[in-house]
Structure 1
Amino acid sequence: MFYLTCNIIKINISSRIRIMSNTEQKLHMHIFKYGLSLIISFLIIVAGCTVPGSGQKSSRIKFSIQNTLPIERKNVPIVLTIDQLQNVSPDITLNALVVVTGKERRETMIPAQADDINYDGERDQLVFLINLAAEEKKEISILYKPNVKATVTLDVNKQTRAGIFPKLHAVAALESDLLAYVLKPNGAVVAYGKKREHLFTVDKMFQNELDNNAPFSPEFRLHFETYNINLTQRPQALIIDIEKPEHRWVIRDLENQEDFYVRKSDEQLNIYKSIGLSLNALLPKQDNPKHDNNVEDTTMVVLTPHVDRIGCGGFALWHKTEQRLIPIPNEGDYVRVLANGSIRSIVQRILPNWNVGGETFQLTYTTYIYGSNPWLEHYIHVDRQLPPDYAIVVGIPKLKETFGVDEDKGLLWSWGTDPNETDSLGMALIYPTAQTSGPVDTDPSLITITLHPDDAGRLGYRSLAIWNGGINGIETQAEFKQYLQKMMTTMENVPRITFIPLEEGQ
């Protein structure tokens, strides 16, 4: 769904129109002008004003989100179900709303998305990403119109994608702006890194402007303009995030919806850009309309050294007595994309007749990916308990340098380099310790562990790859372990959400 300010919408629309032919421009300009008038009217309504003749104001749900940890947290997914929201306001639907933060009349909109998770035709989950400083509490409001039937959708700054690509010989594929994952028919998952695009290099004399988050000097801006990059002139719309002090920064141009990544090397600052959503780069050349057949595509790099089974976070069936790995079959399965949105994408695969030891089960496998995050969330549901001789097995590849299993924390990890031995690479899998019977030796090239669905037949885990050839890379094993420790800590301490009663007149 669409939830951004009008000035950003205009920028986004104009940028799309410029790449169209003249005929397409006229048609799309008419469509966008009509759509934009609806969007602006909707924004006027939800902002608390009234459209002439309507006499109706928007409704509001107010709540706080608190980071209970003494560490900063970025791009945290916040998911609210329709049941949670209707317990507060029974008339709310997820058809027409905006999510905002800040004081009333000076509120800032947060990009958000509403999804139909149970596939019944009604949106039932609201999701958005939020940054939280150490122990910070933010007040959030949902402004909504309860009686609106139609929905206004406009992808703005899309950060995820999911789709079914038969030419990839895969069940489906998902990607965030950081990494891509291809789901194979046998249950394996293949990870792909996205090479960062080098734009230009400047002297380190400009580092002070990055460290102090100060307005950029004309000299620094000139380097961007030389490469046809016109940064916003609004100081409040140009934000500098320090990813690693003295070494890495992110320049976020909120008005133009562009991020630039800065890495320090020797006496220079290298400016990079993400290649963004790029699953099409994996398609055969003749099936990719954007591909120049005379140029080799090197933007996507396979990170999984062994793709025939398990891969990075994939799963299979394990026969305990025979010590045998059984790939997931694909006969009779069906796949659906539950969400293909700006904030997150979801793919669900269902095997209604899964043969396990001569018995028939229904297997449902659902995979989530979130924008600006490198990990996948996996959820497995079996309609009843598996026979005693069987378990689910999950894992990651053994990279060349080192690997380990921490059974107390529920962690598999591996560190080394990509298959081309070009850039450092880390892979990990975080699993529920209460649902495992321990590691198993399924293949010399894999680290694998058996997992058992709970009494309701459910099982969830998280897998990830971190590649230093992309925009979010990690250089050393020590940094990788710190990253994993922080991730596990944040998973155990989700932000605290508290609904706030509205004062009279709100």
Structure 2
Amino acid sequence: MMYTYKKTQIQKAKCWHWFIAAFLVVFVGCTFPGGKQKTNRIRFAIQNTLAIDRENVPIVLTIEQLRKVSADFSLNAYSVVTGKAPREAMIPAQADDLDYDGERDQLVFLLDLAAEETKEISVLYDPNVKATFTLDVKKQTRAGIFPELNAVAAMESDLIAYLLKPNGAVVAYGKKRKELFSVDKMYLVELEGNSPISPDFRHHFERSKISLTQNPQALKIEVEKPEERWVMHDLENQEDYFIRKSEEQLNFSKSIGLSLNALLDPENTTMVQLTPPDELVGCGGFALWHKEKKELIPLPNEGDYVRILADGGMRSVVQRILPSWDINGQTYQLTSTTFIYGGNPWIEHFIQLDRELPADYAIVVGIPKLTDSSGSDEEHGLLWSWGTDPDGTYPLGVALIYLTTQASSLIDTDAVHLSIVLNPDDEGRISYRALAIWEGGINGIETQSEFLQHLQIMTTTMENPPTIKFLPLEEGKK
């Protein structure tokens, strides 16, 4: 059994079929399935410049960037690998058509980087393949349109879900972890040792009708929080088990996974509404603000177009267009694009206006004020609030992270929100991230101090994205 220690959140297990696919890529001469011609290769190094471990970092490359390196680059048939031959391993990736012109224009994958680590990545591609070729990956995100929910769209990662409302508000939903069984804390030594788990320990899984892999190399235990929380990754069966220590026992649970359809069930108990559904703005939404009247104005409910730009394993993207938004007798076009990535609890918003708003109006974003405390850090572009879920059962933290160059001023829109005016940049765009982290799920945080520490790390990593340096091809490789 393999053991790793991580300071950050959950490291997703590599699916077993990816090990097989990596074997094929390396040992069949780097050819694509179904082809005899060697594929072309683009090499680059990705460096984490911080002394902080980082997990599930979205790496996004545009087709323009890649074609500057190789003019014949195509996203019709590709794969992404890390390392050097003969020890290359495939990384799950997806290609999206974000400008909606029928051609894939962005490549995205998620990468784990240790403190100050540099990883070499290669994109293998075949420019002669005209038909689109895609490898299946374990799906970690989803987006969909559900008229029954009175929402523009719903989107989720494996950790959290968000409902995008017609008025511009966002409602967060937690995913209640599925409790499996408990064992005496005497088994703690099994989690911290270096030997395969004992038959007695394995028997507790079997009693719960759970079949663990028999391969010790395919069972990995990650320390999520020393002496308190662990994650057991069964790589062969593509399952993760989350372990928490209480006073007398170890409690095992698992994620409910992608579960947007549970919101359609009136008897649903697995998806828990974390923020109020009927407010303007909500958890990371936005609205129009009339400065003189000090009034929030919701987005119109009609006349919009909504499309799912991506519904993939690594990320999902929802876009809403208001082509004729009437503001004080003038017509504006607003485009709102929202991203969610696997293994991450946040959504990222991009709001695009076709021209400058009238002087009396502005765009306001915000988060709900929770029961315990709220605050802001204008130097690092952060709003946060801490409390409990609506039932008072589990701790809950919400936050919004924005670009300080776009910030105008904190404002009191109402008694229940922490809000700020954001100004578009020179291209008419506003961007920010919003998140909810709930202790009732698999990635919860127990205390306010831990939540603020998590946000500090998050703002630091956003200010210092990994660097990408394209590398020359090694001699003898095409």
Give the TM-score of the pair, scaled to structure 1: 0.88
3-state secondary structure, aligned to 2:468: strand
- What does residue 196 of structure 2 align with? 215
Q: Does 1:169 align with 2:150?
A: yes
Separation in structure 2 between the aligned mates of residue 270 and residue 165 of structure 1, nearest angstrom: 35
- What does residue 441 of structure 2 align with? 470
- What does residue 125 of structure 1 align with? 106
Contact 1:77 1:127 in 2 (8 A): yes
Q: How big is the shift at 1:149?
A: 1.6
Contact 1:77 1:128 in 2 (8 A): yes
Separation in structure 1 between the aligned mates of residue 393 and residue 154 of structure 2, nearest angstrom: 25
Q: Does 1:261 align with 2:232?
A: no
- Residues 80-136 of structure 1 deviation map (CA, whole Å, 9 limit, x = unaligned): 111111111111111111111122122111111111011111111111111111111
Separation in structure 2 between the aligned mates of residue 50 and residue 302 of structure 1, nearest angstrom: 45
- Residues 202-257 of structure 1 deviation map (CA, whole Å, 9 limit, x = unaligned): 12222233234543222222222222222223333222221111111111122211
Q: Greater shift after overlay, 92-101 or 376-385? A: 92-101
3-state secondary structure, aligned to 1:56: coil
Q: Does 1:357 align with 2:351?
A: no
Find the partner of 1:48 among 26, 30, 37: 30
- What does residue 23 of structure 1 align with? none
Find the partner of 2:410 among 439, 442, 459: 439
- What does residue 8 of structure 1 align with? 17
Q: Does 1:347 align with 2:328?
A: no
Find the partner of 2:117 among 109, 118, 136: 136
Separation in structure 1 between the aligned mates of residue 118 and residue 214 of structure 2, nearest angstrom: 30
Contact 2:164 2:171 in 1 (8 A): yes
Q: Greater shift after overlay, 260-269 or 478-487? A: 260-269
- What does residue 281 of structure 1 align with? 262
Q: How big is the shift at 1:498?
A: 1.1
3-state secondary structure, aligned to 2:181: strand
- What does residue 89 of structure 1 align with? 70
- What does residue 293 of structure 1 align with? none
Separation in structure 1 between the aligned mates of residue 107 and residue 33 of structure 2, nearest angstrom: 26
Q: Greater shift after overlay, 208-217 or 193-202? A: 208-217
Amino acid at match of 1:301: V
Q: How big is the shift at 1:284?
A: 4.2
- What does residue 400 of structure 1 align with? 371
Find the partner of 2:184 among 198, 203, 211: 203
- What does residue 104 of structure 1 align with? 85
Separation in structure 1 between the aligned mates of residue 278 and residue 375 of structure 2, nearest angstrom: 20
- What does residue 24 of structure 1 align with? none
Separation in structure 1 between the aligned mates of residue 231 and residue 265 of structure 2, nearest angstrom: 33
- Residues 372-422 of structure 1 deviation map (CA, whole Å, 9 limit, x = unaligned): 100000000001111111110000000011001222221110000000100
Separation in structure 2 between the aligned mates of residue 318 and residue 253 of structure 1, nearest angstrom: 50
Find the partner of 1:496 among 455, 467, 478: 467
- What does residue 395 of structure 2 align with? 424
Q: Calculate percent identity across the aligned residue pairs.
A: 66
Separation in structure 1 between the aligned mates of residue 218 and residue 40 of structure 2, nearest angstrom: 29
3-state secondary structure, aligned to 1:422: coil
3-state secondary structure, aligned to 2:344: coil
Separation in structure 2 between the aligned mates of residue 367 and residue 313 of structure 1, nearest angstrom: 11
3-state secondary structure, aligned to 2:405: helix
- Judged with a 3 Å threshold, the aligned counterparts in structure 2 of structure 1 residues 306 and 172 are, in CA distance, closer, same or farther, namely closer
Q: Greater shift after overlay, 90-99 or 423-432? A: 90-99
Separation in structure 2 between the aligned mates of residue 96 and residue 6 of structure 1, nearest angstrom: 21
Q: How big is the shift at 1:10?
A: 11
Q: Greater shift after overlay, 339-348 or 431-440? A: 431-440
- What does residue 296 of structure 2 align with? 325
3-state secondary structure, aligned to 1:157: coil
- Residues 349-394 of structure 1 deviation map (CA, whole Å, 9 limit, x = unaligned): 0000011121111000000000010000000000111111111000
Q: Greater shift after overlay, 421-430 or 89-98? A: 89-98
Contact 2:161 2:174 in 1 (8 A): yes
3-state secondary structure, aligned to 2:458: helix
Contact 2:19 2:90 in 1 (8 A): no
Contact 1:173 1:180 in 2 (8 A): yes
- Judged with a 3 Å threshold, the aligned counterparts in structure 2 of structure 1 residues 6 and 191 are, in CA distance, closer, same or farther, namely closer
Give the TM-score of the pair, scaled to structure 2: 0.93
Contact 2:233 2:241 in 1 (8 A): yes
- Judged with a 3 Å threshold, the aligned counterparts in structure 2 of structure 1 residues 431 and 44 are, in CA distance, closer, same or farther, namely closer
Separation in structure 2 between the aligned mates of residue 277 and residue 266 of structure 1, nearest angstrom: 31
- Judged with a 3 Å threshold, the aligned counterparts in structure 2 of structure 1 residues 9 and 405 are, in CA distance, closer, same or farther, namely closer
List runs of 5+ in structure 2 lacking aligned partners.
1-12
Q: How big is the shift at 1:62?
A: 1.2
List runs of 5+ in structure 1 lacking aligned partners.
12-38, 286-295
Separation in structure 2 between the aligned mates of residue 49 and residue 449 of structure 1, nearest angstrom: 52
Separation in structure 2 between the aligned mates of residue 251 and residue 7 of structure 1, nearest angstrom: 15
Separation in structure 2 between the aligned mates of residue 91 and residue 5 of structure 1, nearest angstrom: 30
Q: How big is the shift at 1:47?
A: 4.8
Q: Does 1:160 align with 2:141?
A: yes
When the two chains are superposed, the root-mean-square deviation of aligned CA atoms in Å is 2.2
Q: How big is the shift at 1:144?
A: 1.2
Q: How big is the shift at 1:200?
A: 0.8
Q: Greater shift after overlay, 109-118 or 198-207? A: 198-207
3-state secondary structure, aligned to 2:457: helix
3-state secondary structure, aligned to 2:279: coil
Separation in structure 2 between the aligned mates of residue 213 and residue 300 of structure 1, nearest angstrom: 37
Amino acid at match of 1:304: T
